[in-house]
Amino acid sequence: AAIMKQLLTACLLFVGTLAAVAQGPSINLDKEVHDYGTITQGADGGCQFTVTNDGTEPLIIAQCKGSCGCTVPKCDKDPIMPGATSVINVRYDTKRIGPINKSVTITSNATNEPTKVIRIKGKVEASDAAGTGGAPVKPASAGAPLNKE
C-alpha cells in the first residue's frame, strides 16, 4: 500500500508540472487592448503588442488581419521559439476623425488560443491648425457655387 501511495503522489506531482507549461505552442500577449487616448488627426497611429510563446513547441503566426483597411497589422511569420517573444506592429490611419474601436485577429498554431483577437481604441480629434501636416482641408467654396439661381 505504501508503494501505491508513493506512486500516486508521484503521478499527481507529474500532472501538476504538466499543467504549469502548456504542451505545444502557446500564445500570450502583453496586453489585449491598446488605448491611444485622444490623439490629433495625422498623429502617429502606431502601437505594438508583444507576443510570448509560453509553450513547448515553436509558435507560428499564420495571419494578422485588421478589422478594416484603416487598421494595418504587421506580424513576423518566423517561428517564435518556446520562451521567445515577437512584436506585432499595428498602424491606425489617424486621418480619420472620430472614435477608434478596431480589432486585429491573430491566427496561429497555438494550442491555447488559435484565434486571438486584440483591440485598439481611442479617439482622433481634428487638428486645430489645418495647414500643419495631416490631410489638407478643402475649402467649402471650391467647385460650383452652392446657391444656384
Span 80-132, pLDDT tens digits? 999 999 999 999 999 999 999 999 999 999 999 999 999 999 999 998 754 44
Tell me the pTM.
0.71
Enter the C-alpha cell of residue 137.
Answer: 482641408
pLDDT at site 134: 47
pLDDT at site 128: 73
> What are the C-alpha distances in Å from 15 to residues 8, 19, 41, 97, 118?
11, 6, 53, 53, 31
Residues shown for the chain: 149
Q: What is the mean pLDDT of residues 5-9?
A: 63
pLDDT at site 140: 46
pLDDT at site 45: 96
pLDDT at 144 over 70: no
pLDDT at 149 over 90: no
pLDDT at 141 over 50: no
Report the share of the chain in percent with pLDDT over 70: 73
